[in-house]
Every structure is written in C-alpha cells, then in structure tokens.
Amino acid sequence: MKLSYKNSSNNQLLSRAVLVLNANYAPMMVCTAKRAICLEILDKVDILANYEEKVNSPSVTLSLPSVIKIRDFVRYDNLSVDLNRKNILSRDEHICQYCGDKNSPLTIDHILPKGRGGQDLWENLVTACKPCNQKKGNKTPEEASMPLKRKPKRPNRLHYFYKYINDKQEEWKPYLFMEPFKIN
C-alpha cells in the first residue's frame, strides 16, 4: 500500500506524532503516523487510540493512530537518561547553574569537587560557565558563596514526551502518568 500521497493534508496527518508503548505499556518513543500505520500493517503493534482525523486515499480510508503498543516486549530502560555532558547541558537548559549565564562557554562542574570525594552523579553534576567553574575551584557552593539556581536532579524521559503534547494528544496523558486511568 502506498502511503505518501500528493495530497498535502494527508501528508501532514501522516507526519502526526504517535506515542509508542512497550508491550508492558511503558512509554518508549514517538514516531510518525506513517510509521505507525506501516507497523500496524506488519502486525507488529496494537492500536490503543486513534486521532479523530482519517487519512483518505482514492481506495481506502485509514484511521490515524495516536497511541500504539508493540506486541513483542523490547528490553529497554525507557525512562532513564544516559549521564553524559550533552544530557547534563540539556537538563540545565544550557544555563550556568551558578550565575544564570548562557553565553559563556559552558563546562560541567562537580558540586562536591572530585578531589574531595564528589562522584559522577546526576545530583553532583551541573552546568557551569567557565568563569564560575574557575571561581568555585575546589570549593563547595557554600564555601564559595555560590548558591545553585536549583537542586540538580536525575532527569527522566517523560519530559521528552511532554514536548509533543498539545490539544490533540489527550489520549496520551494516561499513558504518561499525567492523569489517572478511568476505571469502569
């Protein structure tokens, strides 16, 4: 079946975001509706919710999937985020957590310095501009009188899904722990 039509509204619908759940309902990723329909045709997924809109071709009318669940469980720690420089910067929104600057070159600072037993943990690593990192040196924030803008936390991937949600993604919310499931 051919899913790319010249019809531009169909193309827009086919690029609509679809929430993909693991076989145990854990949120895994977001894919396009086009990909979701292909997976459905291959019998790899169950459709849990559809958008209101339909995709029309000359011969068929297809439902537009909104939430799908894969049939075979994938071993995948879906909610953890790798601890690395890129993800620390992203958690801190590329803002120095000491002075709020975002224009200076950014570094990663150990809140409790490494030389004093500070570990490589989400809770001990923050984005710091070069001047702040140098000024803080081998001190703690308290010793350097440089309080943190906010307490650093381990991020989780739910934020990744939240970015996709607007008024059309109501169906996603129960699967992302944003509202309780309705119990009949």
Where do contacts with Zn ion occur on this chain (CB under 5 A)?
Answer: 96, 98-99, 101, 129, 132
Nearest distance in Å: CB 152, Zn ion: 15
| Start-to-end Cα distance in the chain | 38
Residue (10 or 133) nearer to Zn ion, CB: 133
Q: Are 30 and 17 in contact (CB under 8 A)?
A: yes
Residue (51 or 98) nearer to Zn ion, CB: 98
* Phi and psi angles of residue 58, each rounded to the nearest 5 degrees, phi first: -55, -35
Nearest distance in Å: CB 89, Zn ion: 13
Nearest distance in Å: CB 124, Zn ion: 17
* Block residue for tokens 């899904």: 161
Residue (113 or 174) nearer to Zn ion, CB: 113
Q: Are 62 and 7 in contact (CB under 8 A)?
A: no
Nearest distance in Å: CB 91, Zn ion: 16
Residue (90 or 107) nearer to Zn ion, CB: 107
- Closest to 28 in 3D by CA, of 89, 65, 83, 80: 80
